[in-house]
Structure 1
C-alpha cells in the first residue's frame, strides 16, 4: 500500500470516528448502522488516540470480576442463555448467579 492509499484510508477512518463521536451512539451500534467492521473501527480509533490501550476514562472504575472455572466433566445446568451481538454467549444463568452475570454484562458493555 502506497502512502496516498494509506492517507485515504486514514482520512476515511478519521471521518468515521468523528461521525461516531458526534452521533452519541455506542460504538457497536454505530458500526452496525454504518456497516463497519467493529475491530477495524477500534483499531483506527485507538490509533488516532495515539494509544494501543483503551483510554483511562474507558476503564475508570473498573474492577475485577470473579470467574469460576468448571471441573473437568462438569455438566452445564440448564438455564437462561444470552447471545451477544459480537458472538459471545453467556449461558447457565439462574437466580443463584444472576448478580455475577449482571456485573459481567455491565463490564462488557
Structure 2
C-alpha cells in the first residue's frame, strides 16, 4: 500500500468513526483496528484540515491565556480550559483544589 492509499484508507476509517458516535477506542475494537494507529492518523488528518483554517488552535499542548476583566462583585477566580470547561469559585481558601482538579484531567 503506497502513501496515498494508506491516507485514503485511514480517511475512510475516520469518516466512518465520526458517523458511528462511538469513542475512538470502542470503534477500533469493533473494527479490529490498532487504536494507536487510529489516533495517529486522526491527529494527522485533522492537522491537514486545520492547516487551511485561519483560526487554527495550536496543538503544542499549551493553552492560550487571555486576560478577562475582574468582576467587581466577586473576588473568585474563574478558569476556562480548552474544550469549553470552566472552573469557577476558586479563591485563596480553596486554591489547592485547583491542582487536584487539574491532575485529574
TM (norm. structure 2) is 0.49
Greater relative contact order, per chain length (Cα 8 Å cut-off, separation 6+): 1
TM (norm. structure 1) is 0.48
Higher radius of gyration, 1 or 2: 2
